[in-house]
Amino acid sequence: MGKHVLLIEDEPNIVEAIRFILSRDGWRVDTHADGKTAVEAVRNVSPDVVVLDVMLPNRSGFDILQELRNDPATEALPVLMLTARGQTKDREAAERIGASRFMTKPFSNAEVLESMRELAGV
């Protein structure tokens, strides 16, 4: 059975691109677009890996990551942060909070696959 990812992203074209890349590689892809209910979605879905956008409606990816890291049930969950802004301060904030990996949009298909395989230990 393939690995399971929860993609928390609100841009439909990014969602479709990542869904296509990962589905083709055998991943089961669930998606969620609202920052406010993202942590609840992670708990309900129990994915192997989370792909989390920094800029989401109603709540930032940094706040979501902080909450996941403060919960014993999700503190070790691999989280790949996505951002349109590749600024150093974003990367540093993500690492400080506990992102497993950080990727800037636009990204290459190969970069997404390689990161996801590493995070899932495939």
Instruction: Assess if residue 9 is contained within a domain.
Output: no
Q: What average pLDDT does the segment 8-30 reach?
A: 96
- In this structure, the strands spanning 28-32 and 79-83 are unpaired
Tell me the CB-side half-sphere exposure of residue 75, using CA atoms within 13 A: 4
Q: Residue 112 maps to which CATH number?
A: 3.40.50.2300
85 band by pLDDT with thresholds 50, 70 and 90 = confident
Q: What is the pLDDT of residues 33-73, one digit of tens each?
A: 999 999 999 999 999 999 999 999 999 999 999 999 999 99
Mean pLDDT score across all residues of the chain: 94
* DSSP element (H, E) containing 84: none
Q: What are phi and psi of 16, to 5 degrees?
A: -65, -40
Provide the pLDDT confidence category of residue 2 given band limits of 50, 70 and 90: low
Domain containing 91 equals 30-120
Question: For residue 106, is the peptide bond before it cis, meaning its omega torsion is within 30 degrees of 0?
Answer: yes
What is the total count of domains within the chain?
1
